């Protein structure tokens, strides 16, 4: 699993990992990689899967920590150490964003360490830029800094042919546009996010894209999109957990909708 999470050529293992990941079966996907846990690339990939599980389910924190420590221990060079630091920052961000524990300082430190370790041309750099944008938007409440980071990530994702990351950068840039009342730009971004995820078969990311697009539309189209998002949300057993609040207008709820979502990359 690279930043994109898409299949790597015709590699059967990567294809199987992607299929499980795209349907929210992170534990099963990680289990496929366990026999190769001493290899830096596999260890980092496994850690990334379990960190993503935390973001989507708010569960599995000890397992993610254990996998991350393994990835950090077997890393051999700056590229691998930078990748592990990026995952460390994402895990700390997830814990902070989801209200499990305030680890904002750890997230900043880890992502800063990753930035120092990864070369400017590293294929992991766009994903790091994206994660730093999430931290700026949702933890530091600095939307302009977040936009700049997302735009760098978006350009890098295009240069490195990373379609899944392109879907996430499109989603987050659309969220910022919506926040600023730029409905046409937001609609275009969410539609692009949805198109990419449907083409990739990234099922767990389809409902958030539909919900984001619904926020840009008027009725009855908004209701139709939100109902479809809610159908997928239930199909996946209430994953991602943070989407329930955003879909609250479509179902009875006690609390007001909250958005934007934490995002998974």
Q: CA 166, 169, 174, 180: dihedral to nearest 10 degrees? A: -160
Q: Do 87 and 129 contact (CB within 8 A), yes or no? A: no
Classify 221 as helix, strand or coil: helix
**C-alpha–C-alpha distance, residues 130 and 123, integer Å:** 13
Q: Do 51 and 29 contact (CB within 8 A), yes or no? A: no
24 Cβ contact partners less than 8 Å away, ≥ 6 residues apart: 56, 57, 203, 204, 236, 237, 239
**C-alpha–C-alpha distance, residues 205 and 197, integer Å:** 7
What tens-digit pLDDT sequence spans the chain (265 residues)?
334 444 445 689 999 999 999 999 999 999 999 999 899 999 999 999 999 999 999 999 999 999 999 999 999 999 999 999 999 999 999 999 999 999 999 999 999 999 999 999 999 999 999 999 999 999 999 999 999 999 999 999 999 999 999 999 999 999 999 999 999 999 999 999 999 999 999 999 999 999 999 999 999 999 999 999 999 999 999 999 999 888 875 444 334 444 445 666 7
pLDDT in the model for residue 9: 56
Residue closest to 42 by CA, chosen among 67, 78, 12: 67
pLDDT in the model for residue 10: 67
pLDDT in the model for residue 119: 95
pTM of this structure: 0.90
Q: Do 256 and 91 contact (CB within 8 A), yes or no? A: no
pLDDT in the model for residue 261: 52
Helix 61-74 / helix 78-97 crossing angle, nearest 10 deg:
160
């Amino acid at each position: 699993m690279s930043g994109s999470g898409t299949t790597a050529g015709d590699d059967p293992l990567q294809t199987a990992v992607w299929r499980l990941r795209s349907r929210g079966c992170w534990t099963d996907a990680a289990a496929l990689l366990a026999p190769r846990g001493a290899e830096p690339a596999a260890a980092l990939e496994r850690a990334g899967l379990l960190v993503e599980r935390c973001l989507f389910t708010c569960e599995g924190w000890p397992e993610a920590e254990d996998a991350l420590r393994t990835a950090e221990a077997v890393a051999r060079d700056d590229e691998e150490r930078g990748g592990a630091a990026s995952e460390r920052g994402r895990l700390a961000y997830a814990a902070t964003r989801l209200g499990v524990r305030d680890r904002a300082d750890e997230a900043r430190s880890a992502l800063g360490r990753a930035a120092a370790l990864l070369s400017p041309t590293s294929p992991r750099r766009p994903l790091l830029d994206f994660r730093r944008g999430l931290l700026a938007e949702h933890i530091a409440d600095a939307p302009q800094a977040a936009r700049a980071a997302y735009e760098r990530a978006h350009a890098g994702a295009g240069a490195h042919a990373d379609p899944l990351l392109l879907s996430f950068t499109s989603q987050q840039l659309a969220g910022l546009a919506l926040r600023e009342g730029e409905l046409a730009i937001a609609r275009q971004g969410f539609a692009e996010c949805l198109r990419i995820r449907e083409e990739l078969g990234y099922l767990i990311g389809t409902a958030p894209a539909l919900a984001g697009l619904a926020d840009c539309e008027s009725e009855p189209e908004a209701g139709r999109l939100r109902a479809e998002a809610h159908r997928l949300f239930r199909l996946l057993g209430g994953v991602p957990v943070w989407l329930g609040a955003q879909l609250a207008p479509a179902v009875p709820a006690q609390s007001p909708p909250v958005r934007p979502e934490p995002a998974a990359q």
